[in-house]
Amino acid sequence: MNQYEKYKPIEFEWIGEIPSHWNVKKIKYTASINDDTLPETTDDNLAISYVDISSIDQGRVASKESYYFVDAPSRARRTVKDGDIIVSTVRTYLKAIARIKKPEVNLVVSTGFAVIRPYEIVPDFLGNLFLSDFLISEIISRSVGVSYPAINSSQIGEISIPIPPPPEQIAIANFLDEKTSQIDKLISNKKKLIELLKEERISIIAEAVNGKNKAWKQKKLKYVAKLRDEIINNSDFKISVENIESGTGRLVNMESGNNYEGQLSGFRKGDTIFNKLRPYLHKVYLAERDGGLFGELLVIYPSNEVTPEFLFYKLFSKEFIDIVDGSTQGTKMPRANWNDFISQLIIAFPNDKNVQSEIVNLIQKETIRIDETLFKIGQEVELLQEYRTALISEAVTGKIKVV
């Protein structure tokens, strides 16, 4: 792509050079921050759609939860308008940033977001700026705290950004909307294929471990497995629920847990890590080494009657997940209880551990093809996402000329 004829250096190294006719301003001079909040006097029966940090995916609001105000989380307070940008001020490394476009009535976001409202800048241009590498990195670098890094909304306003003339802002925004829509369509198609492959994988496991029409031993889970209750001060291998991929049991985004400081629940190689918060997310992991975890995860280890791998696949099976999910308590953050429910479930398993191993080997043989394909498609998605981010960053900083 073409470049501008002349560039000028600026003092902010995270931006580098910009076209010579562009300006630089602090965000607070181009947008307001956190203008509107629901008061405590809000009608209890007001129906709202709520967005929290976990609702954000790739620069958009991917999901919402419906509440009456009286039942909503205490953080459900910030209201938004068309053209706003919401920026997570907590756990900034998650990069939970999204543009708000034509929101439904009574869309409310968590107070964990700063709501940026453009007034001296084209909203779509500023929205793309917030999705650029340089601005995201600057927000993260200004965050304070190790295990729970956060930034004040006012500090976001102090960050300087490049400002092209309004006609160029519009042209850049239109260019990026067209290009990113094309990329997003490719990503969406690949993600649909990933979900189909995950479903096939889950079906293979369920069929192998259900024990129907077989003379398998049946016992309550508490007699076959125990809950590990071990506190450790540190580990070079830390995981949280965010690191376990739904529906595969693979670890992802491991850099997010590296900075956590505090006590951990210890686990050992061969333990099954089971997500008790919103079990329907299907996050179950077989520990490949000793380590520590934080968050609402159960550490379950097998008795001598079952192999670690067979127990993992049993707890990973869709049938088991669905039963546990049906027992959860709480509407906002449904949790499953080990003592009262999970440990009381009856599971079927072959009496012969050699048979268990044969079943595990069969599962691994059947799923390895799927896993290899999932890995390949996952890499393709990552490359597309990286290209998307790079394209946005190049355009909004003037490294490429799109006018």
User: Are 34 and 155 contained in the same domain?
Assistant: yes
Instruction: Say if 379 falls within a structural domain.
Output: no
* Residue 116 maps to a domain: yes
Chain centroid offset of residue 179 CA: 24
Task: Walk along the chain (403 residues) and give the pLDDT tens digit of each residue.
Answer: 789 999 999 887 778 899 999 999 999 999 999 999 999 899 999 999 999 998 998 888 988 999 999 999 999 999 999 999 999 999 888 889 999 999 998 999 999 999 999 999 999 999 999 999 989 999 999 999 877 789 999 999 999 999 999 999 999 999 999 999 999 999 999 999 999 999 999 999 999 998 776 789 999 999 999 999 999 988 889 999 989 999 999 998 776 656 677 789 999 999 999 999 889 999 999 999 999 999 889 999 999 999 999 999 999 999 999 999 988 876 666 889 999 999 999 999 999 999 999 999 999 999 999 999 999 999 999 999 999 999 999 999 999 999 8
Q: Lay out the sheet containing 113-118: strands in order across.
A: 31-33, 113-118, 85-88, 97-99
Residue 9 within a domain: no
Kind and range of the H or E run holding 320? helix 318-325
The number of domains in the chain is: 2
CA atoms within 13 A on the CB side of 120: 14
Which residue has 């439904």 as its token pair? 104
Q: What is the CATH number of the domain that holds 133?
A: 3.90.220.20
Are 129 and 242 part of one and the same domain? Answer: no
Identify residue 354 by its one-letter amino acid code. Answer: N
Alpha-carbon 241 to chain mean position = 10
Are residues 265 and 136 part of one domain?
A: no
Same domain, 243 and 125: no
The dihedrals phi and psi of 129, each to the nearest 5 degrees, come to: -55, -40
Task: Report yes or no on 363 lying in a domain.
Answer: no
Same domain, 232 and 340: yes
| CA distances to 76, 94, 127, 161, 180 from 98, in Å | 17, 12, 8, 18, 14
Q: Are 159 and 139 in contact, with CB atoms under 8 Å apart? A: yes
Q: Which of 119, 134, 162 lies at the terminal end of a domain, its last residue?
A: 162
What's 136's DSSP letter?
A: H
Residues 121, 30: contact at Cβ < 8 Å? yes
Phi, psi of 342 (to 5 degrees): -55, -45
pLDDT recorded at residue 10: 87
In a domain, 91, yes or no: yes
Confirm if 292 and 266 have CB atoms less than 8 A apart.
yes
Within-domain flag for 79: yes
In contact, 63 and 278? CB cutoff 8 Å: no
User: Is residue 33 domain-shared with residue 126, that is, in the same domain?
Assistant: yes
Question: What CA–CA distance (Å, rounded) separates 244 from 341?
Answer: 23
pLDDT confidence of residue 132: 93
pLDDT of residue 14: 73
User: Of 120, 147, 162, which marks where a domain is finished?
Assistant: 162
* Three-point CA angle 223, 228, 233, nearest 5°: 175
Distance CA 195, CA 321 (A): 17
* CA distances in angstroms from 194 to 58, 207, 370, 372, listed in the order given: 17, 20, 9, 11
Residues 253 and 328 occupy one common structural domain: yes
Last residue of a domain, one of 312, 329, 349: 349
Q: Are 58 and 158 within one domain? A: yes
- Domain interval for residue 152: 25-162
For residue 115, being part of any structural domain is answered with yes
Do the beta carbons of residue 350 and residue 367 sit within 8 Å?
A: no
Is 209 domain-assigned?
A: no
